[in-house]
Structure 1
Amino acid sequence: MSYSENNSNNSNNTNNTDNNGYNDGDNNDYQHKPSKSTIQLSVILPWILVVLLAGGFGYYFINQQQQIASITEKLNAEQTNTQAWQPPRAEVVENADKSEKSLPQVVSYHDAVAKASQSVVNTQDQENDTNLGSGVVVSTDGYIVTNAHVIEQADEIIVGLNDGRKAKANVVGTDPESDLAVIKVEMTDLKPLAFRAEPIEVGDVALAIGNPFGVGQTVTQGIISATDRTGLGVNTFEDFIQTDAAINPGNSGGALVDAHGQLVGINTMIFSRSGGSMGIGFAIPTVIVEQVMNALIEKGKVSRGWLGIEVQSQIKDPTNLTTSTGVAVMNVIPNSPASSSGLQMGDVILSIDGKDMKDANTLVRYVARKMPNTVLNAKVIRNGEQMEISITLAERPNQKEIQAVVSDNLQREQQDGETGMSEEERERLRQELLDLFENQKN
C-alpha cells in the first residue's frame, strides 16, 4: 500500500537527505508513517457516510409515502362525505389457505348469529295487526332497510327489535323497481349490521335471519348457490344472490349474512310451487342496497339513466361466426335519448363504454346504474356495418309513464302502418317489453 509520507515540516527543512532517504539532521528521524487509528478511521469513515446517506434517503421516501397516503385518504374522505348515508363497514376477515385440509371443523355459527340478530327487526301493520316481514338496522340513528313489497300496503308500521323494544317507523322512501325501501325509527342504542367488505363467493356459508310466518326471529343455514342472477322477471332491475338457506314468507326484508355475521344481502323472494321454501331463495346484494338507500335518504327517490328503446337479446346462433351476443333494438321511443342520438330500430348494440352487452338484462341494468345526463358510447351494428354512437341519458320515467308511452307508440304505429309488422309481431313485441319492465312481486 502506498501512502503520501512527506509533511509540511519536512518540505521546509534545509538539511539534505542522503541516498537512503534519512534526514542528515537526525539519523533517528525516519519519514512518518500513519498510525493504526488513522488507517481505521479512513476505512470506517466511508461506510459511516454510506449509512447516513441511506438513512436520509429512507426517511425521505417514507415521509413522501406518508404524505401521499394522507392526501389519498383526504380525497377518499371528501368523496365519501358526498353521500347522504354510509353503511357500517365490516373488517376484512383474513382467510388462511382455503384447501379442505386447512379448514377447521365448524361446530357452531352462534357468534355470527348473535352479532347479526340484534340488527334484524320484525315489521307489523298496527292498523290490521298483521305481520309484514322483516328489516335490517343499518345506522345508529334509526335507518332500516326492507323490501318495498313488505310495506307497500301498510297503514302504520311498527318495528320490533330483538331486545323486545318496539317503535313506530316512518317511511323515508321506496323504490319498487329494485324492491327496496327505507324506514326510520326514533330509538337509541341501536346496533347497525356491518356490510361485508369483500364480494361474496359461490359456496360461502349463508345464514338467513328473519321472521317467517310471524313466528318470531328465525335463523336458517345454507350456502351461496349463485351470484349475479338475472332474467327472473320479478323486478325491473335484477342482480340477485341465490341461496339454498330456507327463506319463507315473512323473511322478506331480513338479513342474509356470512359465517362472520356480516351483511351480504337483503332476503327478497323465493321460487316455490308450494308457497314454502324449496331451496331457491334470492337476496338483493349490499352494493345495490347502498346505492338505493343513499338516493332515497337524500332525494326520496332513485334517479336512473334511460335510453328510451325497446330491446330483446340476440338469439344464440352457433352457426353465426361474427357475433351471437348483443341486444337488438326492436323500437325507438320518439323524443327519447336514443331517438336524439340517431339509434334506429334494427340496430344491434354490441357494447357500451367497452362493456359487452350479452343480453337485454345486462343493458337495462348497466344503463339504470348511470345518472341522467351521463354520456354513453355505444358500439352498434347496422346493416352489417359497425359504428359508434354517443348517447346522453335522460332520467328514467316511472313505471306507469313508461307503459303509457309504449302503448301510445304501438297504437300510433298500428294506425300509421309504418313498421310493416304483423299484428302478432306487434303483440309479441309489446308483451316482451312489458315483461322486461313490469315489477312483479312473488
Structure 2
Amino acid sequence: MSAENDNKPVEEVKAPEVKGEETQETKPVTSSSVFSMFGGGAKKEKKDDDEDRGDNSGSAKAQREAAAAAAAASKEGGEEEQAPESEDVHFEPVIHLTEKVETKTNEEMEEQVFKMRAKLFKYVSDTREWKERGTGDVRLLKHRDNGKTRLVMRRDKTLKVCANHYVVPEMKLSPNVGSDRSWVWNVVADVSEGEPEALTLAIRFANSDNANQFKDAFIKAQKENETLFKKAEEQANKPAVNEGFPMKEWTVEVYILDQDGKEKPARCFTKAVYHLHPSFANPVQTFMDPPFKCTNEGWGEFEMSIDLFTTEKGGKQTVIHDLNFAAAQYDNVHTVTFRNPSQALQQILRETGPLPSDEERKIKKADGGKKKKTFDVEKMADGLIKLGEDDLLQVIQLIHDHKDDSTYVQNNIDAGEFSVDLYTLPDSLLKMLWDLLLKQGVVVA
C-alpha cells in the first residue's frame, strides 16, 4: 500500500448515514480496512475478500462452485433447505419398578396365636456343639381350616425360615442346663430346609418370663394338636367309601378258652398284628395288650391274618379270621401249639387248665417215677446235679441228639442255663442218661 493511501482521511471509508429502512445496498461495508485492522468482519465476507484478492487455489475454487450450486438449488426451491428432523425414538423399560409383585408365604390361611423374639440353636452331633441357627420372632401359627398349630421362626432381615414343624404331642420341652430362659426339644420332621429332618433344637429368650410364656403356649398347642392328630389317624384308617355300600363298624378281639370253654385273657401272647384288606389306609395294625382289640369301619367283607407273638424264640402263631357281617356277633376257634414252652409260659397256660404233659407227669409219679422199673427219675434228677462239667456237656449233647417233639428243653445261652423236663424225655433217652449216671457212680440201681 502506498503512502498516499495511508494518508487518506478516515471519513472516506466510513459507511454513509441512511435514514429509514435498511436495504441490501445500504448495509455497512464490512470489508473496510477499519474492520480488517481490528480483526473484525464475518467469515463470509473474509472469504469474499479473498476472492477479491484473486485467490485461485483449487480448494477455494471448489468451495465457490459448491456455494454457487447450493444457491441455485435454494433459488429453484423457493426456500432454503432445512435439515431433516430426527425420529422420536421411545424405549419401553424392561422392568417396571413401580409394579407390585405378590409374594406368598404359605401363612395366608393361618392365624398367629403366639409371637416372641428369641435366638434359635441346633445341636450338631458330629462336632457335639450347639450352632446358632438364627435370631428373630418365633411364632405359633394355627390353621383356620384344620385347626393344627405349627412352629415357624424366620431370621431377621433375610426372613429365611430356620424352624418349621408341627407341635406334636410327642415333643417334650426340657430346661437347658444352667439357664432359666432356654428350652430344648427334639423334632422328628423339621422342614425349614425343604426336606424333613430330625433335629435337636434349643431356644433362648430375653428373660425367664418370656421363656415361660413360650412353654405355656407350646403345651397348649400340643394338647389341641393331639386331639386333631388322633382324629385324623382314625379317619385315615377308614377305607374308601363306595357308593351304594353302607359303612359298618366292626371289632375283633383275641381270647383263649379254658377247659370249660370260657373266654380268658390271652396273656400267653405279648403282641397281635392284624393284616387287613389293602384298601385300608393303614392295613397293618399292631396292638400290645389283651384282648388286642382291633376296631375299624368299612363296607366290605374280607379274610384277615392275625400274627400272635410270645416271648419265646420264634414264638409266632398265625391264625386266619374271616370277617363277615352275616351275624351281629360270632366266634372263630383256632388251635395253636406251643413247642418247648418255657416254665413261665407253661404257668400262664395252666391258668386256663392243665397242660397235656401234666397228665403224663401224674401217671409217671403214680408209678413211683420209674420207667419199666429200671431207673428212678427222681434219683436221676439228684444225680445230674452231681456231675462234673464235662459229663454235663455230654448229657446236654445226648438230649439234643435224641429228644422228640414232646421234649421240653430251655437253653438260655446268655445266662449260661440249660433246663430239661425229665418227664417229657422219651424212654430210650432216659435209659441212656440212667446208664451214664450209673457209670459215674452218682446213682445206685
Larger CA Rg, structure 1 vs 2? 2
- Between the two structures, name the one with larger relative contact order (CA 8 Å, sep ≥ 6): 1
Report the TM range for the smaller structure's normalisation.
under 0.3
TM-score by length of 2: 0.20
TM-score by length of structure 1 reads 0.20
